[in-house]
């Protein structure tokens, strides 16, 4: 485990992860660090340990400078308190807990003694953002290294104090002990009066997953009590003395231009009113006063005709853009001769699959509180990219980034929907005018309209299959929904896989399991159709064309748990879907009941088998898998954004259906713990198998093939 096999591995760049600025270059001075942190021991982790070790000679640093491109650091104070600093953000994925476990494991301190400082651009090192299921494969590993380096350093300090060989010493429960003489030294005693710094090196030994005691065990949310008592302050709960509440005037349609505005009445009501270009906003002593002032503003907007969801899929096909692709050749994958193989096939199958725009609907809408002190700006906001939002604020107000501080209190979820800093900019603009702190919290309608959506898409699949069930050709064209998970993991000698970028009619961006949901829906539905074409069992058909051992293992484990092959009653149907995404492997089996009279489709049972390397927190992992399946039900069955001419038509929770208690099937989770494989993330991958599993189960139940997500927004017409 000392060598990370993924060290040079880059996760597939996610097209719609809104881009991040170049990493901030820290110019660090160790004296500044200790002035801020207090005396003790400091271990830093750098992004490119090998390079820095080469440049600096590695190991203990003597000068006053610290390496640039630090991505995390850990401090042990004179009181033995461990503080870890990371730019990652917590929004319900429970990384505050799983990262604490990692540090606790390597450093041998109880979890309660560890404080995680996260997502504060002033206190934590630069981080591109919390998305793409990267925290566990990258930050978890980095923090383990940091904690391990601290442990080794403490052992060294004790060894020199006792003048003995460090080999005989052990670290346990916040102490370095000499088991032979039974003497020990608390970490606090070793760090007292010290100003020691250490850089993580490639040689720092990590504890193998097989020997984990804290990591690998289920752990409850570290600050869970604050959440059940209402004490935790989310971004929308932040408050400052003399704070005002802000509201922003929204255009009548997307891309509309303001042609006239009359703010006189709002000003007469005592509100602070800002009209700056297309931005019109107000700030007042309460949300209701601000809403009242906003309603008193008369504005006229001009906009161009825009498409509706009814013509969406035609529109996507017709509005492709060339050369707009940031990942270049990654968009096109060719192997063998597809045309020839399609021409000479026993069976040739061509189908089109579509997915709708859907909204993240984080229960906490976007929120920000902004405060100016001279030219210095501080913003508390819910974002997955605190450093990205800092850059946006600096740009919006023409100030250097070091005059902007963004803090991210643990937020009310994101699911890929909180990468951007709209509310931060709005609150800051109003606060500058009001000369007082201003908080802006979006309404649900604003969140549904002015955030961004998971991309809609059209996917055309053409395959050639031999009578014996061997797939010989695979052509796959994805319009707009994204390229993550676009490649097939089935062994096919002739492939043409193309992503077509499109000028999206709606603002679109990241979403939990983003494009992988669409690509797996198309691929795994098509696999089912191909299996039926050659009259093979869908599981046998997949396994016949699948070599990847990890993927085979999850399909086989899920099939076993599900009882694949059992007999069914009328209206009952079984289906499967699965695949590979963000380094994890998932197979999902679903059971549905279709009521032929009412058209109701009920998902009765879902079995997921998941493998993400060595498991860090089994119960936290189950929670993520259950959550993925439940959230995934919405996009699979009924969620869709309706729009026309630049307006969202269902921008309320009463009009946009999300999964509720009564939608939840029986959920069974099989975890395959691969202690020999580095841990990877789990927030996204488990979602991708669900939609095709349900679509395939509906076909199994009633013989109707559904190729559009959501599958049954209005039930299923069987006649």
Partner 1 sequence: MATIRLTVNGKSYTVDADSQTSLLSALREQLDLTGSKYGCGEGQCGACTVLIDGKAQRSCVTKVVAVSSKQITTIEGLASGDQLHPVQSAFLEADAMQCGYCTSGMIMSAVALLQRNPSPNESEIVNFMDGNVCRCGTYPRIVSAIQKAAKSGTASSAKGAGR
Quick one: 438 or 471, whose CB is closer to partner 1? Answer: 438
Among 54, 122, 161, 220, binds partner 1 (CB under 8 A): 220
Q: Percent helix, strand and coil across the chain, each rounded to 5?
A: 30, 25, 45
- Number of separate helices (H) and strands (E) present in the chain: 18, 31
Angstrom distance (rounded) from CA 546 to CA 488: 10
> Using the rule CB under 8 A, is 228 a contact of partner 1?
yes
Provide DSSP, 293-325: HHHT-EEEEE------GGGHHHHHHHTB-SS--
Residues 559-588 that bind partner 1 (CB under 8 A): none
Q: What is the CA radius of gyration of the chain?
A: 27
Contact with partner 1 (CB under 8 A) among 455, 627, 689, 710: 627
Residue selected from 48, 168, 192, 221 as contacting partner 1 according to rule CB under 8 A: 221
β-bridge partners, 84: 74, 116
Q: What is the torsional sign of CA 232, 236, 239, 240?
A: positive
268 binds partner 1 per the rule CB under 8 A: no
- Residue 91 Cβ vs partner 1, minimum distance, rounded to whole Å: 6
Distance CA 698, CA 514 (A): 23
Q: Which of 59, 224, 563, 565 lies at the binding interface for partner 1 (CB under 8 A)?
A: 224
Among 217, 287, 308, 403, binds partner 1 (CB under 8 A): 287
Residues between 467 and 506 that touch partner 1 (CB under 8 A): none
Given the complex with partner 1, which of 89 and 492 has the nearer CB atom?
Answer: 89
* CB nearer partner 1, residue 341 or residue 630: 630
- 413 is a contact residue toward partner 1 (CB under 8 A): yes
Identity of the residue, 241 or 400, whose beta carbon is nearer to partner 1 in the bound complex:
241
Q: Is 119 helix (H, G, I), strand (E, B) or coil?
A: coil
Report CA-CA distances (Å) from 224 to 96, 97, 410, 562: 11, 10, 12, 33
Q: Pick the piece of the chain touching partner 1 (CB under 8 A) from 42-50, 409-417, 465-473, 578-586.
A: 409-417
- Asked whether position 112 contacts partner 1 by CB under 8 A, the answer is no
229 binds partner 1 (CB under 8 A): yes
Element (H, E) at 459: strand 457-465
Of 635, 639, 636, the C-alpha closest to 656 is 639
Q: Nearer Cβ to partner 1, position 412 or 485?
A: 412
CB of 616 to partner 1, least distance (A): 15
* Site stretch for partner 1 (CB under 8 A), options 64-72, 223-231, 518-526, 706-714: 223-231
Interface positions, 128-187, toward partner 1 (CB under 8 A)? none
Q: What phi and psi, each to the nearest 5 degrees, are found at residue 18? A: -60, 135
Q: How far is the CB of 363 from partner 1 (least distance, A)?
A: 5
Residue from the set 24, 187, 212, 234 that interacts with partner 1 by CB under 8 A: 234
Residues 438-457 that bind partner 1 (CB under 8 A): 441, 443-444
Site for partner 1 in 636-675 (CB under 8 A): 652-654, 658-662, 664, 667
Q: Could you count the other beta carbons within 10 Å of the beta carbon of residue 305? A: 9
418, 365 Cβ separation under 8 angstroms: no
Q: Which of 42, 91 has the CB closer to partner 1?
A: 91
Residue 306 found at the interface with partner 1 (CB under 8 A): no
Residue 331 near residue 388, CB atoms below 8 Å: no
- Please tell me whether residue 600 binds partner 1 under the rule CB under 8 A: no
Q: Which of 176, 282, 630, 698 binds partner 1 (CB under 8 A)?
A: 630
User: Distance (Å, rounded) from C-alpha 424 to C-alpha 420?
Assistant: 9
User: In the bound complex, what is the minimum distance in angstroms from residue 524's beta carbon to partner 1?
Assistant: 21
Exactly one of 45, 628, 679, 696 binds partner 1 (CB under 8 A); which one? 628
Look-up: residue for tokens 């009412």?
598
- Residue 416 within binding range of partner 1, rule CB under 8 A: no
User: How far apart, in whole angstroms, are the C-alpha atoms of residue 533 and residue 556?
Assistant: 22
Residues in the chain: 719
For residue 690, state whether it binds partner 1 (rule: CB under 8 A).
no
SS3 351: strand
Closer of 257 and 666 to partner 1 (Cβ): 666
Among 51, 179, 227, 375, binds partner 1 (CB under 8 A): 227
Per DSSP, the residues of 121-165 read TTTS-----S-TT-IIIIIIHHHHHHHHHHHHHHHHHHHHHHTS-
CA distance 16 to 3: 31
Nearer to partner 1, 256 or 431 (CB): 431
96 or 520: whose CB is closer to partner 1?
Answer: 96
Q: How far is the CB of 635 from partner 1 (least distance, A)?
A: 12
Question: Which residues, numbered 523-552, are part of the site for partner 1 (CB under 8 A)?
Answer: none
Is position 353 an interface residue for partner 1 (rule: CB under 8 A)?
no
Closest CA to 457 of 418, 528, 508: 508
Q: How far is CA 434 from CA 238, 281, 285, 296, 649, in A?
A: 18, 11, 11, 19, 34
Q: Which two tokens stand for residue 637?
A: 């069955």
How far is the C-alpha of 695 from the C-alpha of 603, rounded, in Å?
A: 11
**What is the binding site for partner 1 (CB under 8 A)?**
91-94, 220-221, 224-225, 227-234, 236-237, 239, 245, 286-288, 361-365, 410-413, 415, 441, 443-444, 619-620, 623-624, 626-631, 652-654, 658-662, 664, 667
């Amino acid at each position: 485990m000392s060598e990370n096999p993924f060290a040079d591995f880059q996760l597939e760049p996610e097209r719609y992860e809104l881009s991040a600025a170049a990493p901030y270059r820290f110019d660090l001075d160790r004296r500044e660090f200790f002035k801020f942190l207090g005396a003790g021991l400091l271990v830093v982790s750098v992004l490119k340990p090998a390079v820095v070790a080469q440049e600096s000679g590695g190991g203990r640093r003597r000068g006053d400078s610290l390496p640039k491109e630090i991505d995390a650091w850990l401090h042990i104070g004179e009181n033995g308190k461990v503080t870890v600093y990371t730019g990652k953000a917590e929004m319900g994925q429970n990384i505050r807990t799983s990262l604490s476990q990692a540090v606790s494991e390597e450093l041998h301190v109880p979890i309660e003694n560890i404080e995680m400082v996260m997502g504060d651009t002033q206190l934590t090192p630069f981080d591109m953002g919390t998305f793409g299921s990267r925290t566990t494969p990258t930050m978890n590993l980095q923090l383990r290294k940091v904690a391990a380096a601290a442990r080794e350093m403490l052992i060294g300090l004790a060894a020199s104090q006792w003048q003995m060989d460090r080999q005989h010493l052990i670290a346990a429960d916040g102490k370095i002990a000499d088991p032979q003489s039974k003497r020990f030294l608390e970490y606090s005693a070793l760090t007292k009066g010290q100003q020691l710094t250490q850089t993580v090196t490639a040689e720092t030994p990590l504890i193998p997953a097989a020997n984990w005691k804290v990591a690998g065990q289920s752990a409850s949310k570290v600050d869970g009590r604050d959440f059940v008592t209402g004490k935790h302050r989310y971004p929308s709960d932040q408050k400052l003395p003399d704070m005002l509440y802000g509201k922003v005037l929204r255009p009548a349609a997307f891309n509309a231009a303001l042609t006239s505005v009359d703010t006189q009445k709002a000003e007469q009501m005592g509100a602070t009113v800002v009209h700056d270009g297309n931005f019109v906003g107000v700030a007042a002593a309460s949300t209701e006063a601000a809403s009242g002032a906003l309603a008193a503003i008369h504005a006229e907007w001009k906009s161009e005709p825009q498409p509706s969801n009814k013509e969406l899929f035609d529109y996507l096909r017709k509005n492709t853009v060339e050369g707009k692709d940031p990942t270049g050749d990654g968009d096109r994958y060719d192997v063998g001769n597809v045309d020839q193989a399609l021409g000479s096939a026993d069976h040739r199958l061509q189908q089109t699959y579509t997915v709708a725009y859907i909204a993240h609907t984080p229960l906490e809408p976007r929120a920000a509180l902004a405060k100016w002190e001279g030219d210095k700006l501080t913003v508390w906001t819910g974002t997955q990219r605190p450093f990205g939002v800092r850059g946006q604020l600096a740009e919006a107000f023409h100030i250097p980034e070091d005059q902007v501080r963004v803090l991210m209190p643990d937020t009310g979820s994101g699911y890929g929907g909180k990468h951007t800093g709209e509310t931060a900019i709005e609150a800051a603009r109003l606060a500058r005018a009001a000369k007082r702190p201003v908080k802006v919290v979006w309404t649900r309608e604003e969140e549904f309209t002015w955030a961004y959506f998971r991309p809609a898409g059209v996917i055309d699949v053409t395959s050639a299959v031999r009578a014996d069930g061997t797939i010989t050709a695979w052509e796959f064209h994805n319009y707009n929904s994204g390229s993550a998970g676009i490649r097939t993991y089935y062994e096919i000698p002739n492939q043409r896989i193309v992503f077509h970028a499109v000028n999206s009619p709606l603002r679109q961006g990241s979403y939990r399991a983003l494009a992988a949901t669409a690509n797996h829906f198309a691929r795994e539905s098509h696999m089912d159709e191909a299996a039926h074409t050659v009259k093979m069992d869908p599981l046998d058909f997949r396994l016949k064309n699948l070599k990847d051992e990890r993927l085979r293992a999850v399909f086989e484990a899920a099939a076993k748990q599900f009882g694949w092959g059992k007999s069914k009653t009328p209206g009952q149907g079984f289906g499967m879907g699965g695949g590979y995404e963000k380094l994890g492997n998932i197979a999902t089996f679903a059971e549905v009941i279709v009521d032929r009279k009412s058209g109701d489709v009920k998902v009765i049972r879902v079995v997921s088998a998941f493998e993400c390397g060595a498991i860090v927190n089994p119960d936290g992992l189950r929670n993520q898998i259950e959550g993925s399946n439940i959230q995934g039900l919405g996009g699979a069955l009924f969620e869709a954004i309706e729009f026309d001419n630049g307006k969202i038509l269902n921008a309320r929770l009463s009009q946009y259906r999300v999964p509720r208690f009564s939608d939840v099937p029986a959920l069974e989770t099989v975890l395959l713990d691969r202690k020999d494989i580095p841990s990877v993330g789990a927030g996204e991958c488990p979602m991708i198998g669900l939609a095709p599993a349900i679509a395939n189960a509906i076909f199994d139940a009633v013989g109707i093939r559904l190729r559009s997500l959501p599958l049954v927004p209005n039930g299923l017409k069987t006649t």
